Chains A and B, each alone.
Chain A
Amino acid sequence: MSDALETSGTFRPEVIEDIQIKASSGLYRIRGWGTLRERRWATFDDLTFLPCSLTRIPLEGYREKCSTKTLLGTRFAKKPIELDVPVMITGMSWGALSYNAKVALARGARTAGSSNTTGDGGMLMAERENSRTLIYEVLPSRYGINVHHMRMADAIELTIGQGAKPGTGGLLLGSKVSDVIARQRDLPIGVDQRSPARHPDFLGPDDMIIKVEELREATDWQVPIFIKMGASRVFDDVKLAAKAGADVIVVDGMEGGTGASPAILQEHTGIPTLAAVCEARAALEDIGLYGEVQLIIAGGIRDGVDAAKALALGADAIYIGTAALIALNCNRPLFIEDYRALGTEPHHCHHCHTGRCPVGITTQDPELMKRLEIDEGAERIANLLRAMTLEIQMLARACGKSDIHHLEPEDMAALSMEASAVCGIPLAGTRKVFGR
């Protein structure tokens, strides 16, 4: 290449663009979707399964019984959650998502025997009516908080943070604060809503112990209490959440999705999901609660392979957000002109923050929303959840497991030294765990 066309390794074209956009707006950049960085850290792709050969005997891959039943909340709740599959729909707010998207997720999860979760805007009645198992989020903003809705839920999730932006509250830009959403959240129409990061009525982990008791009292100790956190100091935070009395801990890694967040937080805060699972398991083992407190892992989970690896590393269940939206046609080449109007193309869109979602998922515009047909969307969600579960079973059977929850770290080898060090799993071709 001639010198004339050489690109700076520091001021790359996207850096130049970023600086010029900020020079024009005077503001940090906001967008949806989660980290866009090329992942140079250890990910689930750095692990491979070690199926049976002579040392272990496989189950018949396509047919032999391999249980996928998933129990959550066995520690204190009178009615733990029982799901047919280990993949659950994560909390995404009505506001970030359209009505059609919320209902399609609920109906699809119900069909597949899974659960869905409310979000930072309270519960939509149609969501409850279409769910089999509904998890009710209690977030710092408390938008739409309603004790009656809480008491209709099958579990309560006390959210401390999210993987896309641990330590910072949610964002919903004015274009999505429609009159309906404004009413639901008690906000003025069209404000750029910035949710608080701290809960309004407690601050530290000791107060949280009392908060958890309050939520139990409010729900008669019937339903499990989840505590959700963005992955940052996972080893310590998980222990504190367990001490606070959580039945289930949700850890959302740095690849976690979002409807809208400052881009720098998505790119430069938190630890990756792979590292987060390993720290979370180690924390629970350290305090003797591994197995008693269940662990849900979220953040960039794409398929049954990622999910199976997370299960093998210690998770009891998996949350998916972005993958579920993709099942609903996010980034599909439909209505291409509308992607272009946003300055993007199908497969590159991360413009959920604009409220102009070309496929009707992350919008409050009634016309755009119609593009997401609820029944069809529900079917696609159910299909994805089932396909992911079949993928997990396929891997579990190959590893000789009659229950997907029997997958273990010994079923895998590391493909990079980083993954070996993070997961405590020998590097393929060696007997060695790096860093130990």
Chain B
Amino acid sequence: MAEISCDGRTTRDINSEIRRAIAAGDREIVVKDPGARHNLAVAILDPARIRISGSAGYFCGGLIDGPRIEIDESAGWGLAESMMSGEVLVRGSVGNGAAAAMRGGTVVIHGDAAARLGVSMKGGTILVAGNCGYMAGFMGQKGRLVVCGNTGDAFADSLYETACFVGGSIEGLGIDAVIEEPSKDDVAWLDATLSQYLPGVSRRGRDFKKVVAGRKLWNFDKREWKVWQEAL
């Protein structure tokens, strides 16, 4: 196991040391005293386990492909943005745009997520134990977005094929978002995934609402003028 302290060092230095440790064969890395520093563990492309023992700033775990990153406290904006595979777990809460444009892997947030969670997601799974802010799931293309608590306004606006699941209440649906009954497979998947990643959540699969695209924004159509006029 490698221990890397952030105290008095540049981000560039810290990230280089993470890469060096991985290249030297370390598969367990602890990053100490992160002090909510931005851009920690960016573009890590190997299946190492990196623990950030504290809070991280913006873009922690951005552009990764393969590692498991655990953040003991909270994370800033753009957590795990555009990640391709791996796991990112946050014990606290996260800022705006968490898991934005993610393409694969799993992001687990034990606390709450701020606005624009999972915007433009292209794959993978996002799990939030708490609540999320406005515009979560905006333009979600693929993958699954699960919010166990309540959502903010404009939830799941302008969706493509992301499937969204909400355990609590939805403050307001976004344009073209429709609620449908989760299938048996959805419920089974939710139960299995929640018990694996968020066993502390009491809600079961059957308690969730499913939100998908109404597909009225997928192609220009003058009959849907009202929808187009209001599309964000």
Of the candidates A142, A147, A214, A218, the one whose C-beta lies within 8 Å of that of B58 is A214
Residues of A within 8 A of B45 (CB): 147-148
**Contacting residues of chain B (65-84) with chain A, CB-CB under 8 angstroms:** 65, 77-78, 81-82, 84
**A149 CB to nearest B CB, Å:** 11
Q: Is the CB of B38 within 8 A of A210?
A: yes
The residue of chain A having its C-beta at the shortest distance from the C-beta of B41 within the complex is: A217
Interface string of B120-164 (1 = CB under 8 A from A): 101100000000000000110110000000000000000011000
Knowing A187-B141, A210-B58 touch, does A147 contact B82 (C-beta < 8 A)?
Answer: yes
The residue of chain A having its C-beta at the shortest distance from the C-beta of B64 within the complex is: A147
Q: Is the CB of B77 within 8 A of A202?
A: yes
Bound-state CA distance A201–B101 (Å) is: 8
Interface string of B30-60 (1 = CB under 8 A from A): 0000000011001101000000000001110
Interface string of A104-148 (1 = CB under 8 A from B): 000000000000000000000000000000000000011101111
**A23 CB to nearest B CB, Å:** 10
9-residue interface stretch from A58-66, A189-197, A344-352? A189-197
Knowing A191-B218, A207-B58 touch, does A200 contact B119 (C-beta < 8 A)?
Answer: yes
Q: Is A186 an interface residue (CB 8 A)?
A: yes
Residues of A within 8 A of B119 (CB): 196, 200-201
Of the candidates A143, A201, A217, the one whose C-beta lies within 8 Å of that of B43 is A217
Q: Is A26 an interface residue (CB 8 A)?
A: yes
Q: Is A2 an interface residue (CB 8 A)?
A: no
Bound-state CA distance A187–B45 (Å) is: 25
Bound-state CA distance A186–B102 (Å) is: 11
Knowing A142-B82, A217-B42, A218-B43 touch, does A150 contact B59 (C-beta < 8 A)?
Answer: no
Q: Is A406 an interface residue (CB 8 A)?
A: no
**B166 CB to nearest A CB, Å:** 20
Bound-state CA distance A95–B219 (Å) is: 17
Known pairs A186-B123, A201-B97, A201-B119 / 14 extra A-B pairs, C-beta < 8 Å: A26-B225, A141-B120, A142-B100, A145-B82, A145-B103, A147-B45, A151-B43, A186-B103, A191-B160, A191-B218, A210-B59, A214-B39, A217-B12, A217-B42
**A123 CB to nearest B CB, Å:** 14
**Contacting residues of chain B (85-129) with chain A, CB-CB under 8 angstroms:** 96-97, 100-101, 103, 116, 119-120, 122-123
Of the candidates A143, A186, A200, A221, the one whose C-beta lies within 8 Å of that of B12 is A221
The residue of chain A having its C-beta at the shortest distance from the C-beta of B122 within the complex is: A186
**A30 CB to nearest B CB, Å:** 8
Query: Can you name 11 A-B residue pairings with CB atoms under 8 Å?
Result: A147-B63, A147-B82, A148-B65, A187-B160, A192-B218, A200-B101, A201-B96, A210-B57, A214-B42, A214-B62, A217-B39
Number of A-B contacts (CB under 8 A): 112
Query: Which of A26, A185, A190 has most B Cβ within 10 Å?
Result: A26
**Contacting residues of chain A (342-381) with chain B, CB-CB under 8 angstroms:** none
Of the candidates A141, A173, A213, the one whose C-beta lies within 8 Å of that of B11 is A213
Knowing A141-B120, A214-B58 touch, does A186 contact B141 (C-beta < 8 A)?
Answer: yes
Bound-state CA distance A221–B16 (Å) is: 11
Bound-state CA distance A228–B100 (Å) is: 21
Knowing A187-B141, A218-B42 touch, does A27 contact B222 (C-beta < 8 A)?
Answer: yes
**A264 CB to nearest B CB, Å:** 15
**B158 CB to nearest A CB, Å:** 8
SS class, residues of chain B in contact with chain A: loop
Query: Which of A141, A202, A217 has most B Cβ within 10 Å?
Result: A217
**B11 CB to nearest A CB, Å:** 7
Bound-state CA distance A218–B142 (Å) is: 24
**Contacting residues of chain A (260-314) with chain B, CB-CB under 8 angstroms:** none
Residues of A within 8 A of B65 (CB): 147-148
Residues of B within 8 A of A142 (CB): 82, 100-101, 120, 122
Residues of A within 8 A of B161 (CB): 188
Interface string of A3-45 (1 = CB under 8 A from B): 0000000000000000000000111000000000000000000
Of the candidates A191, A202, A217, the one whose C-beta lies within 8 Å of that of B97 is A202
**A47 CB to nearest B CB, Å:** 41
Q: Is the CB of B11 within 8 A of A200?
A: no
